[in-house]
């Protein structure tokens, strides 16, 4: 049956119900016969036909013989509760748990739609969705819900406005959870919505279709005729906005008490919401069920229009209006406004001997997520403001840059080159996407997470999935923060190619338009406006001070000059100041003595042998052991150990990063913005471009014979790969050799002293580990796992007999190795706690090196002195400049 034919049947069916058989005059005989059959079925069913699916309207229900008292596995059937498109529903008892359940028995054993329903329901766990307990040979076992269907409730008349809004928001929340998992309901209707004491329960995902499973595509028009969206009547696929259309019809029916597609008689705020739900073009509807939920919850309580007032009531109403106008005039005249709640400041205690790496205030302003390093373990600690202490969140080891979900229930974070998510109460950790070199993120109500990638701000669904680009040209933007509308965001631009363009920029998820609002290279936070206002603030840092730029969130422009909020902020040592804010005026920042990074010598027992210098994220000792090269503040610098003399090799504005020595100590190679360059280590002469790249490519190790340079390149579509560049002799168009390329990220490649092996880091197993492969690589050359339980930053001892790496809990690990006749490695052994800095990318910069004698370790450490102080400001707003 074509969608056009079914549409005509539906139209005539409704017309005949409303106007009688005369409406069928002149209709096509076949269509008329079908309509008359449906009308007869409707009469026999007591007017309940519209609560069946379209497939059953056409084919009728095939009965499955079963009676009360029957046993289905451990389930004892008690009574029939109803019937639907897939079969009948019975009340039963789980004899193992003595638990009442509902069992839906499928009319076709193991049909495709039956398996589809079980997968759809099992993927959802939410208080507003019916819970699936078990699946049998041809039945589903679900929670038994006490209550009544929305269909039954509507027979008693329309719902009050507050109930309509509350139930509608709950249904929208249920759909949002399903849509986030790629599931579309496709048959939402009052008969599939139960009303209970605790709220709604959305039932019967029997027509649901997983967006991610193309094998489940149906070409027929499935769904209840009265609730089909226009695109479904045209035979097109259902999407999330199809469910939004149907929910609009359900909202209208709840508020009006009857099926209708005209919301004009409803209160204006609800009219606006429903009208957008019912737009013919899906692109014109609410773009997500989360947005619809938020819009419903934002509707004020408006009384339902009553019958026309009497003459006396009219005069009372007029007097009330006059009184109201006088009150408004009085307020305007005397400029009296409700006082803002006073600003409150408090100091929050932190665990002893812990170092703060980053922090994030929850959107509701009640909890601070703090990344702490304590006892060698870096993880997220949660500090509710109404609790006396912070507590670690298991499963967040190696976390950095946490970000909250808009409802403050979940936390996303970066760890092991991936973006992960966990419930604030704990539980399993879900990996959402690869996130190598990503700094910062933000989360909106539509289920989008924006991450600050190296090439541009990118988007990933909060349910996990592929990363996609936003409109606009590729340019590095880090630490994005969304504005209250959930579509515009601010982010930090800090480019190598054009430093004059650096600063805080305002961009949109929906268009390539962007503009700079501040010149400061700083991560930013957003504080929304007070209720009824439009001016909030963009928070940023300047010279260790927390600053605020008043910002009109509707006009998207500055509403005043920046002013200071707090002083003495502490930096994480990597250029990011430790501050965060909620959208409702709760600010948190760390004050005290700012830390800097320095070089520290340690022996094999971890004893400090001395500290010196100002360090960046990378250090490498020269082949003769007399110098080091590093990248403090983005400048390539060579330091002489004997005299402490520093020679700057590459300068700003372009500078450089990730330097490595040539085997003869004459040159240093580094990332120079355009690609990989080399320059004489004494600073003389011009730099030479070894290879031009269109994405970040950083050198890692130079082969002992000087012929090859290992580097890691980050590709936006697949992560980091490890390659070897021929440099002696250097060709005009060199062709790199692929060393390791997997679905994971490969980095930190290090040549063995004899040049025949390469140790490197890869997270292809889901955890960053140390591997060794032969060089040059061969198809059957083999690969050996060296680390156990995770590892990063491998380095070889100069005689090739030991391999060192850093464990997940920041310990220096040592492994005995032999390379002849085949590669072999022993059991890893912990030497000491490194107290190494965290650059934010454990699989990137190598923050330590080994002296030629094999007994001294040069490690970049944090010289933080004294306990930092976590400060919290409550009830802050941009109009209170103090």
The residues carrying an active-site annotation are 187
Residue 745 per-residue DSSP state:
-
Residues in contact with 363: Cβ distance below 8 Å, sequence separation at least 6, in sequence order? 404, 405, 406, 407, 408, 582, 583, 584
Nearest alpha carbon to residue 425 among 374, 376, 362: 362
CA distances from 581 to 350, 366, 465, 520, 548 (A): 18, 11, 28, 18, 11
Task: Show contacts of 196-200: CB within 8 Å, 24+ apart.
Answer: 196/145, 196/146, 196/147, 197/146, 197/147, 198/127, 199/127, 199/128, 199/166, 199/167, 199/170, 200/128, 200/150, 200/167, 200/170, 200/171, 200/174
Residue 659 · residue 618 · CB < 8 Å: yes
DSSP string, 621-687: E-TTSSEEEE-GGG-EEEEETTT--EEEEE-TTT--EEEEE-TTSSEEEEE-SSEEEEEETTS-S--
> 544, 596, 587, 542: which is closest to 569 by C-alpha?
544
Which tokens go with 196?
């209970």
CA angle, 60 then 61 then 65, to 5°: 150
Q: Give the three-state DSSP class for 322.
A: helix
Q: Which of 599, 616, 620, 617 is nearest to 608 (CA)?
A: 599
Q: Is the Cα torsion angle 108, 111, 113, 117 positive or negative in sign?
A: positive
SS (H, E, C) 397-414: CCCEEEEECCCCCEEEEE
Whether the CB-CB separation of 513 and 535 falls below 8 Å is answered with no
User: Are residues 786 and 771 in contact, defined by beta-carbon separation less than 8 angstroms?
Assistant: yes
Q: From CA 255, how far away is CA 260, in angstroms rounded?
A: 10
Cα dihedral 112→117→118→119 (10° resolution): 90
The secondary element (H helix, E strand) that includes residue 38 is helix 29-44
Can you say whether the dihedral through the CA atoms of 779, 781, 787, 793 is positive or negative? negative
Radius of gyration for the alpha carbons in the chain, expressed in angstroms and rounded = 33
Closest alpha carbon to 599 in 653, 644, 659, 655 = 644
Residue 69 contacts residue 77 (beta carbons within 8 Å): yes
Query: Residue 71: enclosing H or E segment and its boundaries?
Result: strand 71-72
Q: Rounded to whole angstroms, how far apart are CA atoms 228 and 496?
A: 53
Judge contact between 831 and 842, C-beta under 8 A. no
CA–chain centroid gap for 640, Å, is 45
Cβ partners under 8 Å of residue 205, min gap 6: 117, 120, 121, 124, 178, 183, 185
Question: 565, 872 in Cβ contact below 8 A?
Answer: no
Neighbours of 455 (CB within 10 A): 18
> Which residues make Cβ contacts (< 8 Å) with residue 864, sequence separation at least 6?
355, 570, 573, 593, 595
Segments of 136-235 assigned E as strands: 139-143, 148-149, 183-184, 193-196, 199-202, 209-210
Give SS3 for 816. strand
Strands 675-680, 667-671: parallel, antiparallel or unpaired by DSSP?
Answer: antiparallel
């Amino acid at each position: 049956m074509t969608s056009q034919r079914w549409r005509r049947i539906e139209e005539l069916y409704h017309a005949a119900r409303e106007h009688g058989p005369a409406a069928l005059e002149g209709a096509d005989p076949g269509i008329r016969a079908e309509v008359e059959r449906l009308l007869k079925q409707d009469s026999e069913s007591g007017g309940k036909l519209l609560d069946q699916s379209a497939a059953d309207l056409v084919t009728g229900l095939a009965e499955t013989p079963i009676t009360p008292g029957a046993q289905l596995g451990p389930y004892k059937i008690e009574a029939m509760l109803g019937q639907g498109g897939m079969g009948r529903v019975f009340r039963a008892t789980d004899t193992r748990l003595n638990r009442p359940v509902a069992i839906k028995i499928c009319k076709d054993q193991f049909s495709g739609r039956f398996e589809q329903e079980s997968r759809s329901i099992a993927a959802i766990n939410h208080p507003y969705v019916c819970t699936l307990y078990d699946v049998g040979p041809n039945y589903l076992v679900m929670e038994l819900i006490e209550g009544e269907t929305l269909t039954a409730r509507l027979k008693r008349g329309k719902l009050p406005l507050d109930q309509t809004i509350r139930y509608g928001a709950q249904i929208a929340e249920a759909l949002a959870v399903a849509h986030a998992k790629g599931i579309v309901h496709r048959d939402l209707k009052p008969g599939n919505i139960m009303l209970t004491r605790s709220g709604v329960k959305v039932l019967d995902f029997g027509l649901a279709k997983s967006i991610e499973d193309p094998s489940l595509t149906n070409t027929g028009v499935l769904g209840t005729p009265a609730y089909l969206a226009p695109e479904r009547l045209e035979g097109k696929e259902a999407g999330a906005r199809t469910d939004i259309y149907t929910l609009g019809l359900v909202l209208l029916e709840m508020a009006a008490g009857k099926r209708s597609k005209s919301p004009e008689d409803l209160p204006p705020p609800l009219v606006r919401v429903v009208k957008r739900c019912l737009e013919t073009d899906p692109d014109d509807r609410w773009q997500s069920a989360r947005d619809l939920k938020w819009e419903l919850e934002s509707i004020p309580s408006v009384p339902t229009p009553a019958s026309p007032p009497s003459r006396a009531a009219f005069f009372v109403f007029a007097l009330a209006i006059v009184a109201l106008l006088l009150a408004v005039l009085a307020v305007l005249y005397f400029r009296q406004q409700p006082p803002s709640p006073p600003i409150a400041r408090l100091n929050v205690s932190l665990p002893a001997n812990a170092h703060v790496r980053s922090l994030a205030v929850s959107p509701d302003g009640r909890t601070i997520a703090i990344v702490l390093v304590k006892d060698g373990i870096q993880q997220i600690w949660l500090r509710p403001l109404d609790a006396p202490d912070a507590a670690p969140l298991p499963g967040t080891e190696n976390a950095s840059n946490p970000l909250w979900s808009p409802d403050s229930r979940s936390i996303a974070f970066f760890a092991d080159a991936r973006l992960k998510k966990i419930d604030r109460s704990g539980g399993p950790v879900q990996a959402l996407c690869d996130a190598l070199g990503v700094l910062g993120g933000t989360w909106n109500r539509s289920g989008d997470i924006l991450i600050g990638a190296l090439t541009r701000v990118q988007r990933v669904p909060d349910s996990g999935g592929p990363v996609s680009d936003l409109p606009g040209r590729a340019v590095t933007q880090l630490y994005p923060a969304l504005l209250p509308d959930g579509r515009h965001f601010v982010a930090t631009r800090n480019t190598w190619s054009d430093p004059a363009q650096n600063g805080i920029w305002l961009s949109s998820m929906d268009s390539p338009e962007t503009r700079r609002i501040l010149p400061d290279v700083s991560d930013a936070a957003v504080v929304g406006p007070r209720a009824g206002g439009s001016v909030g603030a963009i928070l940023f840092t300047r010279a260790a001070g927390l600053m605020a730029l008043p910002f009109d969130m509707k006009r998207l422009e500055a509403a005043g000059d920046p002013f200071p909020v707090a002083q003495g902020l502490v930096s994480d040592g990597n250029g990011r100041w430790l501050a965060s804010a909620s959208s409702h005026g709760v600010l948190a920042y760390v004050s005290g003595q700012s830390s800097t990074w320095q070089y520290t010598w340690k022996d094999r027992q971890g004893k400090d042998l001395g500290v010196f210098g100002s360090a960046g994220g990378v250090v490498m000792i020269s082949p003769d052991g007399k110098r080091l090269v590093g990248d403090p503040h983005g400048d390539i610098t060579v330091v002489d150990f004997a005299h402490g003399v520093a020679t700057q090799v590459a300068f700003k504005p372009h500078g450089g990063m990730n330097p490595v020595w040539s085997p003869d100590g004459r040159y240093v190679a580094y990332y120079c913005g355009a690609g990989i360059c080399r320059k004489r280590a004494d600073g003389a002469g011009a730099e030479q471009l070894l290879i031009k790249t269109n994405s970040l490519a950083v050198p890692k190790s130079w082969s002992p014979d000087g012929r090859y340079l290992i580097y890691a390149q980050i590709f936006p579509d697949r992560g980091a790969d490890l390659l070897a560049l021929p440099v002696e002799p250097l060709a005009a168009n060199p062709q790199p050799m692929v060393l390791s390329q997997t679905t994971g990220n490969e980095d930190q490649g290090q040549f063995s002293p004899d040049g025949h092996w390469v140790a490197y880091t890869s997270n292809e197993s889901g955890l960053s580990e140390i591997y060794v492969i032969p060089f040059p690589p061969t198809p059957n050359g083999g690969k050996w796992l060296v680390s156990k339980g995770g590892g990063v930053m491998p380095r070889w001892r100069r005689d090739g007999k030991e391999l060192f790496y850093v464990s997940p809990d920041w310990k220096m690990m040592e492994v005995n190795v032999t390379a002849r006749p085949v590669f072999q490695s022993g059991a890893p052994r912990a030497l000491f706690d490194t107290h190494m800095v965290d650059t934010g990318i454990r699989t990137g910069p190598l923050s330590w090196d080994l002296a030629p004698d094999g007994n001294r370790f040069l490690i970049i450490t944090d010289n933080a002195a004294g306990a930092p102080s976590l400060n919290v400001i409550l009830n802050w707003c941009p109009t209170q400049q103090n």
